[in-house]
Amino acid sequence: MVTLTPTANILVATDIIGDAELAKGILNEVFDHVYCSTEPDQATVDFMRYQPDVLVLAFNSLDKSERYYLSLYRLCPAINKHPHRTVVLSNKDEVKRAYELCMKDIFDDYILFWPMTYDAPRLNMSVHNALRELAVFKSVGHQVAEFSIHSRPLAEMELMLSQQRVQDDASNRAMDRAEPISPTILVVDDDEFQHKLIGKLLEKQNYNLVFAASGGEALNLLRKMQPDIILMDVMMPDMDGLEALRNLKAMPQLAMIPVIMITGKSEGQVVSDSLKAGAANFVVKPFDQATLIAKIDHALGMTKQPYPVK
């Protein structure tokens, strides 16, 4: 049995002081270290100051919660190195959307909080469960813990364990590649049509495709999975591909994943910027199927070492 630490930090983030005090009052009934962050300009400072084990997003709309969390990833690189769980508070009109965001691993849990019901202790229960998951995560390690928390399919667990063996001993890569496990490719592109097109081009290949619609969503997914390779579109809203790539390469646990940049432009500057940021290669839209597959296969055969900066 995993024991929860009594010194766990809970941070309530919102732009409405009254809502922060309401959530904090409920949490203080159970937890000793509950803090509030209500000034947007102080978001990163507050996160670094309190180092929360659980971040409660108490904004009155999911859009605000998403933008707040995305800004943390943009402005606070240390967030990627600090294990934590997120609980987002939702109103009754956004419950379905909150569910979808949690299913995409953007957030870890959601609560129907507005209007308030008799089930106010649900907030404490959700935070308790988040701390329990985090304790498992810290006690048994990233790969095994995330499997036990999210009940991943057996095939994915085998993939994760295979990747761990590769990290422990790079010389085992050739043998691991011979195992009947599909390499996982994370495709990051805000265009749903491109998702379908890439899926069609690669449908006969032995790949397991995972899709993300933005750089922020990709970074959130990478908290809980490690693909063999990433296809990253350059032009995306909010966080473009180059910014996402730089953030990824700044994280030691992710820096060795080969990244192929996708661009609709063939100018030398775009290619140069991508390679300098750490990309392994690039492909230009519209895709040539044979070229795309060849570059993916080449990247999959690479030793997981950061691409040399030129």
> What is the structure's pLDDT at 198?
93
Task: Count CB-CB contacts under 10 A for residue 45.
Answer: 13
Per-residue tokens: 150: 């999210």
- Reference 191, options 226, 231, 245; nearest CA is 231
Helix then strand count (H, E) for the chain reads 13, 10
Q: Angle CA(44)–CA(35)–CA(109) in degrees, nearest 5?
A: 80
Q: What gap in Å lies between CA 299 and CA 184, rounded to an integer?
A: 12
* Residue 259: HSE in the Cβ half-sphere, 13 Å Cα cutoff: 32
pLDDT in tens, 43-82: 999 999 999 999 999 998 998 998 898 888 778 877 877 8
> Cβ of 153: how many Cβ atoms within 10 Å?
9
- Residue 263's nearest CA partner among 226, 243, 290, 236 is 236
Structural tokens at position 147: 């499997």
Summarize the confidence of residues 169-197 as an average pLDDT. 72
**Distance (Å, whole) CA 77 – CA 68:** 14
Q: How large is the average pLDDT for residues 17-43? A: 91
Q: What share of the chain is helix, strand, coil (3-state, %, to 5)?
A: 50, 15, 35
Least confident of 60-69, 102-111, 166-175, 288-297: 166-175
pTM for this structure? 0.51
The one-character DSSP state at 106 is S
Q: Closest by alpha carbon to 59, among 18, 10, 102? A: 18
Whole-number Å distance between alpha carbons of 101 and 4: 26
Average pLDDT over the chain, rounded to whole?
79
Q: Which of 109, 105, 102, 97 lies closest to 55, judged by CA?
A: 109
112-140 pLDDT, tens digit each? 988 765 567 789 999 999 898 878 766 55
Which helix (H) or strand (E) segment holds residue 121: the answer is helix 121-140
Does residue 131 contact residue 87 with C-beta atoms inside 8 Å? no
Dist. CA 87–CA 10, nearest whole Å = 10
Q: Is the bond preceding residue 153 a cis peptide, omega within 30 degrees?
A: no
Please say if the pLDDT value at position 304 is more than 70: no
CA-to-CA distance for 134 and 283, rounded, in angstroms? 38
The domains found in the chain, sorted by start residue, are: 10-140 (3.40.50.2300), 182-300 (3.40.50.2300)
Give 231-281 pLDDT, tens digit per residue: 999 888 878 888 889 888 888 878 889 999 998 766 667 778 888 889 999
- DSSP for 222-261, written as a single string: TTT---SEEEEES--SSS-HHHHHHHHHTSTTTTTS-EEE
Please tell me what DSSP assigns to residue 93: T
Residue 284 pairs with which residues in a beta bridge?
Answer: 263
